Amino acid sequence: MKGMKTAIWLLAFGSMAVLAAGAGAAKDPIRLLLLDGQNNHDWKATTPVLRDMLLASGRFSVDILTAPPKDAPREAWGSFRPDFSKYKVVLSNYNGQLWPAECQAAFEKYMREGGGLVIYHAANNAFLEWSEWARMVGLLWAPATYGDRVTVDREGKVIRTPKGEGPGAGHGPQHAYEVILRDIKHPIMRGLPLKWVHAKDELYHGQRGPAQNIHVLLTAFSSPTQKGTSTNEPMVFIVPYGKGRVFVNLLGHDQVSVAHSGCSALMVRGAEWAATGKVTIPAPRIHLNKK
């Protein structure tokens, strides 16, 4: 177990050290709020990895806000009132109870006025009943009846499947799979390899939502041999909301897969872009791996 933990941290910090050396410590670090506290995934394991990779990049200061647990009494939510205006970007590692109405309204205002949002993996499972959140995230873990689906065909053309047609959200068994860049000119993706084999991970398919103005940055082929959909599923994409920017990364089921050099690079570069609209963090060397 100790050896596994050591390997995890080596993965997490090996590539981040390169990033920090290239970018240097920021004089005015980007203030980031990392939200967690409820999730069907192990947020207690992944939040420290996310925090440390962000800090190692030299571009961020990180505050962590943990929501009340699922079974907490209703009054426990009375003090959950994040001051979003203090931050350039919010990273969600949260998948649980709907936030209080005051928090929803405050976050919508924050995003409309130019805030940044990063959705990490299962955070896109949250808040199906919150329509504005769905607009921000674009594609959520939801049944086919919830909304449209977006995929990419063999020629690289984006295909939109109407609500109610085709599969809803799911994934096959965890496995290592190839990911492919779909926009090499976007600031988040510039300088990264055209493709690499990602670590053993969940490969989300059949995500559903309003899917408005989604721009797909990276896909993975959902193989039928892995109980997949036989098409290229969007794994990383961006969505505008008002004056705000949303970066969605569906990779990273656990602390090992999120610490993979490719996934960690996407996380820190995506967070910087969501906060500023630019990326100054250098592209690291990606471990291409083999299946």
What string of DSSP letters covers 92-141? E---SSPPPHHHHHHHHHHHHTT-EEEEEGGGGGS-TT-HHHHHHH-SBS
Res 22 pLDDT > 50: no
Using the predicted structure, report yes or no on whether residue 132 has a pLDDT greater than 90. yes
Q: Note the pTM of the prediction, 2 decimals.
A: 0.92
The pLDDT of 104-121, averaged and rounded, is 98
Q: How far is 31 from 74, CA to CA, in rounded Å?
A: 30
Alpha-carbon distances of 154 from 151, 220, 259, rounded to whole Å: 10, 11, 29
8 A C-beta contact, residue 90 and residue 84: yes
How many CB atoms lie under 10 A from the CB of residue 132? 17
The whole-angstrom separation of Cα 119 and Cα 267 is 9
Residue 53 has pLDDT above 70, yes or no: yes
Q: Chain-wide mean pLDDT for the chain?
A: 92
CB 82 within 8 A of CB 103: yes
Encoded tokens for 199: 């670590």
What does the pLDDT read at residue 13?
45
Q: What is the DSSP letter of 10?
A: H
51 band by pLDDT with thresholds 50, 70 and 90: very high
CATH topology of domain 2-276: Rossmann fold (3.40.50)
What the block records as the tokens of 127 is 């808040």
Q: What is the percent of the chain where pLDDT is above 90? A: 85
Q: Is the pLDDT of residue 174 over 70?
A: yes
- Give backbone dihedrals phi and psi of 20, rounded to 5 degrees, phi first: -65, -40
Between residues 286 and 158, the one the model is more confident about? 158
Question: What is the C-alpha R_g of the chain?
Answer: 18
Tell me the domain boundaries of the chain: 2-276
pLDDT over threshold 60, residue 287: yes
pLDDT of residue 26: 56
Query: What sign does the dihedral 120-122-125-126 (CA atoms) show?
Result: negative
* DSSP β-bridge partners for residue 92: 35, 119
The model's confidence at residue 102, banded by pLDDT at 50, 70 and 90, is: very high
Q: Which residues contact 75 (CB under 8 A, 6 or more apart)?
A: none
